[in-house]
Structure 1
Amino acid sequence: MKQFLYELAEQIKKDHPAWENLTVVFPNRRAVLYFRHHLSQLLEKPAFAPQLITIEELFARHSQVRVPDKLELVHRLYHIYGEVMKRTTTETFDQFYFWGEMLLRDFDEMDKYLVSAEQVFRDLSNQKEMDAAFEYLTEQQIEFLESFWGPFQANLTSNKKKFLDTWRHLPAVYREFRNSLSTENLAYDGMLQRTVAEGPLDQLVSGPVVFAGFNALTSAEEKLMTAYLTKGTGKVRWDVDSYYLNDTAQEAGVFFRQYQMHAVLGKTFPKDIPGNFSRPKNVSILGASQLVGQAKLMAQTVGELLAKGMIPEETLIVLPDEKMLLPVLHGLAVEVKTMNVTMGFPLASTPVFNLIEQLAELQVNQRESRFNQRHVLALLGHPYVLAADPVLASGRRKEIVENKKFTVPAEEMQIGPLLFGVIFQPISGQSIIGYLHDIMYALGGLPQLTALDKEYVLQFLKLINRLGEVWTVEEAAYNEFPPAKKEKEIWKSFLRLFRQLVRAQKIPFVGEPLSGLQVMGVLETRNLDFKNVFILSMNEGALPAGGHRSSYVPFTIRKAYQLPTTEHQDAMYAYLFYRILQRAENVYLFYNTETDVLGQGEKSRFLQQLLFESGWNIKHRVLQTAVQPTPLRAIEIPKDEFALQGLERLNEVTDSSKGISPSALNTYVQCSLRFYFRYIARIKELEEVDDDINARSFGLLLHHVMQKFYEGVVATNKNKIIEPSDLNHAETVIDKLINEYFIHLSGTKGEVVYEGQRLIVREVVMSFAEAILRHDKAYAPFTIEGLEKGGLTYYAKISHAPGQAVLSGTIDRLDLKDNVLRVIDYKTGGDKLEFSSIESLFDGEDKSRNKAVFQTFLYALLYRANHPVNGLQLIPGLLTRANLFEEELHFGFSMNKKPIGDMTPFVEQFESLLKRLLEELFNPEIPFRQTRNEKNCEYCPYRQICYRN
């Protein structure tokens, strides 16, 4: 079957023997490219080609104005808007950009459709006033709204007036914007088209002009086309099919039926409309799950057909959803040797954009030439920074994490390759453009980067240079801010603008446009025909595209003034869809079988229309992916030689190790597999330095503060007895200790700034410390027997090698009063003080097991093993959220709601169960097993290894 452009080339060769003065006008450049190719196929000898141009280029030939890029136009509109509104707006350019872009789009459409902007905005203003007026509400409705809005009525009225004032000024903004552009011989597309269409059309392009393959004309295009036809030099070649033209129910033919009724355009339709669509075709509709499922099924189908002789140059893949691009390219990479991709790759999806976002975070949060470790760690993990020097980047990460550096000096990070020196230089907001410029050059010089990565860098360099022309003007808006706030605001403003620009940019793929399999978006297929057509994402919201672009002009006013609406968009996409199919012979339509939770993304109506109306014999199949998850078996690791050596190492008493800690043994009871990962295999738990402190270091801060406080009291008193008077004014000392801790943590010498999380942490630790000291003051006098007391060991004989198990640990605090020795463990979490039985403490599968009781009992046992406790009541207990904030402190634990006033009666049973536990730990026949109690897995750092939760 002949393609439309080939037929057009044949017709032009027949009708126009001399091409020198002939002009052929197309909707887009791709049609020009293919037409030129077909024309060359028909030539028997070299000849001058006719003028082949787009409709935009034809308008440009009727005008001498320049069309600036969108950034320049929106920037100019921003300043006009401010002047018209008499500077009542406080919006910065980055805040205005979204609205300015939308307003520019509305101006553009109104001009292209030759609509009076004054009237549109007048009606729009009137509608907004009516919407704001509440006159249509009943008294009951008004009363209800007043009860809801009452306290804010004055502000609401003020805001409402300001809101309405904006709409009233839009006609003036439109006029002044156009006037300012005209004085400099500039215009946006719609303004240029309107100027040409409404101006004198007596200077038309000389010679015959053929308009080819148009549909959904703007009013300006229609008027220009009509002028050429009226003059007698113009012709129109419609790319239309009788299937959807003659059926008034088919939205694909809406615009053509309108043109048939036109006084001039109606005469250009041939008597016999082609009926290519109804010819027999091989059509398959294929359903698959999600984007990847469609891409894989399509690639598999293409591969099979290529193996059977399908010609790539006769094959088109259409992607209505640009998110399909990467899955499709990955799928086709194996099957297809040559392809041409006309769609661009989004700049926002590149590693360069991610790097710039991380750089902004780094610079915004730097203080006194020191960077927040979290942002440094993120950058050291970026692929480009790793490419510059992987060994140095990994080493720096390790050093920051292991040394728990909260902030990192800039000069320390600048040592290394050029990229490190550029990235980690502290800059001010005024240096953003230069800073990013230097980084792009440093990246471009990295030999490790691929050609594609360097293309990303080049595109960003162009964008940064272009943005720099505008940004230097807008920085002055921040001069009134205080210096500290100014830096943040400049960066935030720059990022807002930069993100908006990047999201609108795409990197074009470079390929041979006429060779290989073609991958296109829907709009790029205009006028083109292929024997084999594959269309993906045949779902509502993708084809046809969902909704309408953001606009100031609502649907009702658009409809009244015949501006494009969703109906217009649907009709346009319907035509493009049916047009792609009308000359195809083999058609494969793919859709996503999965809808979202709201039922969106159902099978496209176009598919339903084909199934019920086309008369084709359509094959319809759905790829059923039988998902049967393999049941996970409990993980067991035998105690082989490696495991036994690990246990022996853990059990050794050396200068650096004193045996098994209570926390390690607690881990074993909870889950022996987690014990294996951490203490035998020594797989490090994910550890990063938090902005201030995480849950664990929060507890460390409280321990540090309480230890230093009582050490200071003991040193001052020169004895260990604590009197109530020693705790007067303790808050000042605690505050100083917290401040010193943060200074040490951050590495700074100046005053600590308390804000955000750091302020919360300070207040919470202060509240815990004050609560402890309040109860201590009520309990005093008492004697401090130990603070962070270590060096305590417990030996237990076992029947397995090495013959004895060694436990050791450090007790937070020991104090003595009236023969009561308290073994105190500080806890900042929500640990409870009750447990059901001694046996439950050793049962990791018991969901109510109290691990804090188990650990504190072990501390008490350690003390008994190293110190005589004759005649003393030994009471282990917690100072925690559960008892600290009560009026009267209830210290100690309760078993079955009975307080434990002395641990001694429970020692024998506890020791017996402890020895049984240690026998199990060292028994080579008992493997390390995954816990069956999934509650233990909730916060386990190894749960991803086990596929739990």
Structure 2
Amino acid sequence: MQYFLDDVIDSLPQWKENPGNYVFILPSKRAGFFLREKLMLKAGKSLILPEIWSIESFVEEISGLHYASPLDLQFLLYKVYLDQKGIEKESFFEFSRWGQLLIQDFNEIDRYLIDSEKLFDYLGDIQELHQWTPDGTSSPMIRKRLAFWKSLLPIYIQFRDTLEQKGLGYQGQVYRKAVSQTPDFISKNKSKHYIFVGFNALNTAEQDIIQYFLKQGNTSIYWDADVHYLDDPLHDAGLFMRKYRSKWPNLQKNGLAGIGSYFQNPKKISVTGLPKSVSQVKYCGDLLYKLSSEPSENLDNTALILGDETLLNPMLHSLPSEIGGVNITMGYPLHHSSIAQLFSALFGLFQQKTQDKWRVKTAMQILRHPFLQPFFRDESLNSEKVCSILLKEYPNFVSGKELLEAGVSKGVLELLFPNKTPGVHEVIKQFIDLTDQLLPSYRQRNDVLNMEYLDHFKNLFTRLGDLCIQHPFVSDLKALKFLFEQLLSEDSIDFEGEPLKGLQIMGMLESRNLDFKRVIITSVNEGILPSGKTNSSFIPFDVKKEFGLPTYKEKDAVYTYHFYRLLQRAEAVHICYNTEPDVLEGGEPSRFISQLLNDPVLSSQIEHQIIAPKTGIHPDARKAIDKSERLLFKLNEKAKAGFSPTALSDYIKDPVLFYKKVILGIRDCEQLEETVAANTFGTVLHQALEYLYRPYEGLYLGPDAVHSMRQKAPELALKSFDEHFLKGMTASGKNLIALRVMEHYLDTFLLMEKERLKKHKIKLVGVERKLKIPFNTGTQGPEVYLKGTVDRIEEVDGSLRIIDYKTGMVEPRNLRISDWDSLRTDPDKSKAFQVLCYAWLYKQQNPVHNLMAGVLSFKNLKTGYQWFGLKEAGRSYQSDLHESVLLNFENQLQLLVEEIFNPNISFEPALT
């Protein structure tokens, strides 16, 4: 089958006679490149090719203005904004958050030739209605807001005038200017024959310009469409062309040239659902490998369309080597590179710096950054060792001196962690120095790609420095980071290759006017294809409808056309979509897929399948651990040091966990706590309670003591928090909330104490009392000690009570048993096991008759003290720990210890 651009050329055989008189205008430069190659092939002789323009360049030529760069537009708009009187001025960074949006709206207004004065007056009136009050009152904030909306028209006028004086313009301004210049342009170029090729969604300015050319008679226009969707009044793919056909005089008379019925030809369409983006990438790689293995298959006529262009990097890593040549039209965006992430982290480091300290989390992120590792190796810096020290010693902030002590070399410290908080120009200089310092490490390794990255970034920072000199209002790191991200988004690394050979990898918009025998499209999900209902604009939706500005409806129609146009001439189509809806990766399968599956012509040609990676059910990787002689020896050593109630509870929960934590000494992986963790919060609260109660140990408590403790509680809570977490820093954010929660816990608890003192006589016997005694196993077995620290021991009206503080949630059912064996077999009874263990330990050294043991849960303070309870036949739960109760518990301890030391019983993993 012959493709669109070939059809256009073949319908104009006279172009060869006088090619200099022909001018082709296409939607994109990419389409123009393919057209140029086809003209060369069809010329058959040496000649000067016709002029070929993209529509944007052609409009620029007509207008006499030049497009200003996005950053130049931002700077100029900010200066115009500062010139306005009667409105509150913001910093450049604050302005940058909405300035680009305003430029986009200016673009739309001008491209669609809207009466700007009427529109801005309308917007101002809407705001006045929104702020209207029955009594006519107004606040300073409302007046400032209204003043800003009223200033939009003066800003728009001054912005346009200033640009035009410089011979520049934003896109919409250039288009509006071109409309007025088109008649004069045509009169000066009467000998030219203009051919507009492959357009679909045209703004009002483009429509007026093209109709001017059509009216003068020496112009042709070719539409790339199919009657399948063009003649369907409900099909969005033909929305714009149907509108032009009914309204343009030339089209009413002559119809649409270039229309075909390609969907009548048989096609092979496969629609494949795969979980997540990585699966789509792997599937496409496997598909390309199979296609390249077929002798009759030529990938020169195959296009891989990335619906989500962020998949370019994983796709490149998934391409099989067997496919040969690959042409990537979009270039590799610099902001996806690892070095871009490094500089973003450095910006974060500088912005978070206190007067003399760096944030540990960001410092570790930089020290662990893969791009810096070759440089660190050359500097003999062990970054993982440094990070391990920072993790243990400095949980929040670290000074330069402390970084040196942790192992950071002086050269690295000066390069990445300067003592003085850098300003805008210092940061730029430091980044340029960093690229210079890194380059030798990569040159030595002949790492061409990363050397290219460094060269790009050095040029970027040099340009950034020039911009900051030209525009002094870029005076803080936030604004500098914004400029950095703007420049970064505009830059990419071009791929080298033969543009017309091999597999073509491109985005959806780059496929305009191009046809391929085989098409593979990824990420065909709602929110990606089409992109969804986004309305980032100062102009509300209903106002856009009123003034004829495009909305998401028109945007969806654009994507629909591009999708169906890709399919119309293709013989084989492979469509992939993500079966797992995700906020970041798109939603449910695209409406385009539903349309295809219900299409009366195409549905019979579609094969729909869902593919998932092969996943087998693997047995639990954890194996039982036999008790070898060496293990038993190690177990004996640990027994002499003493088993705590917590360690024995771990054995009941999971013997393998006990083996790892107690026998091998493996602890949970240390993680950096930016926000205080639950276990640290518990440690801090225990410490604060010890500070409060230690002075009263051995004394009877009274109202004065409780009153004194309530006054000291906030100070002692902060002291404990500082010792275990803050390390000299100020509590802020979630950590400040945690501190306030702790203070609330303490005050609520002390108020409970005050109420208890009204009813009971309370003596504080012990605080954080450490206990350790030998446990008689009754055999010639190993020497075993049990140990523990009792949070609180008190005497209430002559009855002794053992209390364990818990910061987590504990309910009465966790402390009640009716079956003694449940203490050894049910992990849910671990709280009961622990308090009984503390009570038993205390009783061995202190003869006592009336004894109770329980828990105080700070997350469940309203329940008060919760006591161990034993339910025996025909009786309610009993809390008194009389001799028989502790003897029964001792029997359970005996069985548990015997099981731990039994060489014939392995450490079995807990059932999950």
Same fold (TM > 0.5): yes
Report the equivalent of 1:106: 105
- 1:823-845 superposed Cα distances (whole Å, 9 cap, x missing partner): 45443334456732385585365
Match of residue 789, structure 1, among 755, 770, 795: 770
Report the equivalent of 2:389: 399
For 1:442 and 1:359, locate their aligned partners in 2 and report how far apart those are by CA, in whole Å: 16
Three-state SS of the structure 1 residue aligned to 2:398 is: strand
Report the equivalent of 1:35: 35
For 2:676 and 2:573, locate their aligned partners in 1 and report how far apart those are by CA, in whole Å: 60
Three-state SS of the structure 2 residue aligned to 1:929 is: coil
- 1:616-647 superposed Cα distances (whole Å, 9 cap, x missing partner): 85132313549887386695513243xx6345
Give, in angstroms, the shift of residue 172 of structure 1.
Answer: 2.2
1:79 to 1:862, Cα distance in 2 relative to 1, 3 A? same
Match of residue 424, structure 1, among 414, 417, 421: 417
Q: Trace 1:399-548 onto structure 2 (pairs within 5 A).
A: 399-403=389-393, 405-413=395-403, 415-416=408-409, 418-428=411-421, 430-431=423-424, 432-444=427-439, 446-447=441-442, 451-453=448-450, 455=452, 464-466=461-463, 490-491=476-477, 508-547=494-533
- 1:93-126 superposed Cα distances (whole Å, 9 cap, x missing partner): 3333343222212221222232322223334444
Q: Trace 1:384-395 onto structure 2 (pairs within 5 A).
A: 384-389=371-376, 392-395=382-385
Say yes or no: does 1:208 pair with 2:208.
Answer: no
For 2:582 and 2:764, locate their aligned partners in 1 and report how far apart those are by CA, in whole Å: 66
Q: Is the Cα–Cα contact under 8 Å of residues 363 and 427 in structure 1 kept in the other structure?
A: no
- 1:555-576 superposed Cα distances (whole Å, 9 cap, x missing partner): 4444454433344334433433
Could you tell me which runs of 5 or more consecutive residues in structure 2 were left unpaired when the two chains were aligned: none
Say yes or no: does 1:668 pair with 2:651.
Answer: yes
Q: Is the Cα–Cα contact under 8 Å of residues 92 and 474 in structure 2 kept in the other structure?
A: no
Give, in angstroms, the shift of residue 793 of structure 1.
Answer: 2.8
- 1:651-699 superposed Cα distances (whole Å, 9 cap, x missing partner): 3169xx7132221111111222322332234443132242364332333
Report the equivalent of 1:487: none
Report the equivalent of 2:591: 604
Q: Is the Cα–Cα contact under 8 Å of residues 650 and 659 in structure 1 kept in the other structure?
A: no
Match of residue 320, structure 1, among 280, 288, 307: 307
Amino acid at match of 2:572: N
Amino acid at match of 2:87: T
Q: Trace 1:676-825 onto structure 2 (pairs within 5 A).
A: 676-691=659-674, 693-707=676-690, 729-730=708-709, 737-738=716-717, 740-741=719-720, 744=723, 753-766=730-743, 775=753, 778=757, 782=763, 787-789=768-770, 792-797=772-777, 803-812=782-791, 823-825=802-804
For 1:154 and 1:441, locate their aligned partners in 2 and report how far apart those are by CA, in whole Å: 63
Q: Is the Cα–Cα contact under 8 Å of residues 316 and 532 in structure 1 kept in the other structure?
A: yes
1:407 to 1:646, Cα distance in 2 relative to 1, 3 A? farther
For 2:615 and 2:894, locate their aligned partners in 1 and report how far apart those are by CA, in whole Å: 44
For 1:378 and 1:92, locate their aligned partners in 2 and report how far apart those are by CA, in whole Å: 30
Deviates more, 1:496-505 or 1:574-583: 496-505
Q: Trace 1:187-226 onto structure 2 (pairs within 5 A).
A: 187-199=169-181, 201-204=183-186, 206=189, 207-215=191-199, 216-226=201-211
Give, in angstroms, the shift of residue 373 of structure 1.
Answer: 3.0
Q: Is the Cα–Cα contact under 8 Å of residues 651 and 659 in structure 1 kept in the other structure?
A: no
- 1:335-379 superposed Cα distances (whole Å, 9 cap, x missing partner): 633222223555554434443444344334433422333333343
Say yes or no: does 1:552 pair with 2:541.
Answer: no
Say yes or no: does 1:351 pair with 2:350.
Answer: no
Q: Is the Cα–Cα contact under 8 Å of residues 212 and 237 in structure 1 kept in the other structure?
A: yes
Say yes or no: does 1:77 pair with 2:57.
Answer: no
1:361 to 1:878, Cα distance in 2 relative to 1, 3 A? farther
Q: Is the Cα–Cα contact under 8 Å of residues 387 and 449 in structure 1 kept in the other structure?
A: no
1:162 to 1:4, Cα distance in 2 relative to 1, 3 A? same
For 1:240 and 1:762, locate their aligned partners in 2 and report how far apart those are by CA, in whole Å: 66
1:734 to 1:159, Cα distance in 2 relative to 1, 3 A? closer
Give, in angstroms, the shift of residue 279 of structure 1.
Answer: 5.1
- 1:682-719 superposed Cα distances (whole Å, 9 cap, x missing partner): 443132242364332333334444555666678xxxxx
Three-state SS of the structure 2 residue aligned to 1:612 is: coil
Could you tell me which runs of 5 or more consecutive residues in structure 1 were left unpaired when the two chains were aligned: 135-145, 147-152, 479-489, 715-719, 933-947
For 2:394 and 2:421, locate their aligned partners in 1 and report how far apart those are by CA, in whole Å: 27
1:839 to 1:241, Cα distance in 2 relative to 1, 3 A? closer
1:890 to 1:126, Cα distance in 2 relative to 1, 3 A? closer
Q: Trace 1:919-938 onto structure 2 (pairs within 5 A).
A: 919-932=898-911
For 2:318 and 2:162, locate their aligned partners in 1 and report how far apart those are by CA, in whole Å: 51
Say yes or no: does 1:289 pair with 2:265.
Answer: no
1:798 to 1:311, Cα distance in 2 relative to 1, 3 A? farther
For 1:694 and 1:522, locate their aligned partners in 2 and report how far apart those are by CA, in whole Å: 46
1:903 to 1:764, Cα distance in 2 relative to 1, 3 A? farther
Q: Trace 1:588-667 onto structure 2 (pairs within 5 A).
A: 588-592=574-578, 601-605=588-592, 608=595, 612-614=599-601, 618-623=605-610, 625=612, 630=617, 636-641=623-628, 645-652=630-637, 658-667=641-650
Three-state SS of the structure 2 residue aligned to 1:318 is: strand
Say yes or no: does 1:907 pair with 2:886.
Answer: yes
Amino acid at match of 2:202: L
Amino acid at match of 2:733: G
For 1:292 and 1:788, locate their aligned partners in 2 and report how far apart those are by CA, in whole Å: 56
Give, in angstroms, the shift of residue 493 of structure 1.
Answer: 5.9
Report the equivalent of 2:555: 569
For 1:327 and 1:125, locate their aligned partners in 2 and report how far apart those are by CA, in whole Å: 48
For 2:708 and 2:256, locate their aligned partners in 1 and report how far apart those are by CA, in whole Å: 102
Three-state SS of the structure 2 residue aligned to 1:928 is: coil
For 2:246 and 2:797, locate their aligned partners in 1 and report how far apart those are by CA, in whole Å: 108
- 1:802-843 superposed Cα distances (whole Å, 9 cap, x missing partner): 544332334445567997665454433344567323855853
1:32 to 1:732, Cα distance in 2 relative to 1, 3 A? same
Give, in angstroms, the shift of residue 422 of structure 1.
Answer: 2.5
Q: Is the Cα–Cα contact under 8 Å of residues 316 and 519 in structure 1 kept in the other structure?
A: yes
Amino acid at match of 1:332: L
Give, in angstroms, the shift of residue 859 of structure 1.
Answer: 3.0
Report the equivalent of 2:154: 172
Give, in angstroms, the shift of residue 540 of structure 1.
Answer: 4.6
Match of residue 828, structure 1, among 807, 826, 837: 807
1:230 to 1:99, Cα distance in 2 relative to 1, 3 A? same
- 1:144-203 superposed Cα distances (whole Å, 9 cap, x missing partner): xx9xxxxxx988876666555444433222211111212233211221222232137434
Q: Is the Cα–Cα contact under 8 Å of residues 801 and 851 in structure 2 kept in the other structure?
A: yes
For 2:848 and 2:511, locate their aligned partners in 1 and report how far apart those are by CA, in whole Å: 94
Report the equivalent of 1:583: 569
1:61 to 1:285, Cα distance in 2 relative to 1, 3 A? same
Q: Is the Cα–Cα contact under 8 Å of residues 819 and 872 in structure 1 kept in the other structure?
A: no
Give, in angstroms, the shift of residue 4 of structure 1.
Answer: 2.8
Amino acid at match of 2:179: A
Deviates more, 1:502-511 or 1:695-704: 502-511
1:772 to 1:196, Cα distance in 2 relative to 1, 3 A? closer
Fraction of identical pairs, as percent: 27
With normalisation by structure 1, the TM-score equals 0.80
1:817 to 1:602, Cα distance in 2 relative to 1, 3 A? closer
Three-state SS of the structure 2 residue aligned to 1:667 is: helix
Three-state SS of the structure 2 residue aligned to 1:637 is: coil
For 1:199 and 1:597, locate their aligned partners in 2 and report how far apart those are by CA, in whole Å: 46
Root-mean-square deviation (CA), in Å? 4.4
Give, in angstroms, the shift of residue 286 of structure 1.
Answer: 1.7
Q: Is the Cα–Cα contact under 8 Å of residues 80 and 155 in structure 2 kept in the other structure?
A: yes
For 2:318 and 2:877, locate their aligned partners in 1 and report how far apart those are by CA, in whole Å: 67
For 1:330 and 1:773, locate their aligned partners in 2 and report how far apart those are by CA, in whole Å: 62
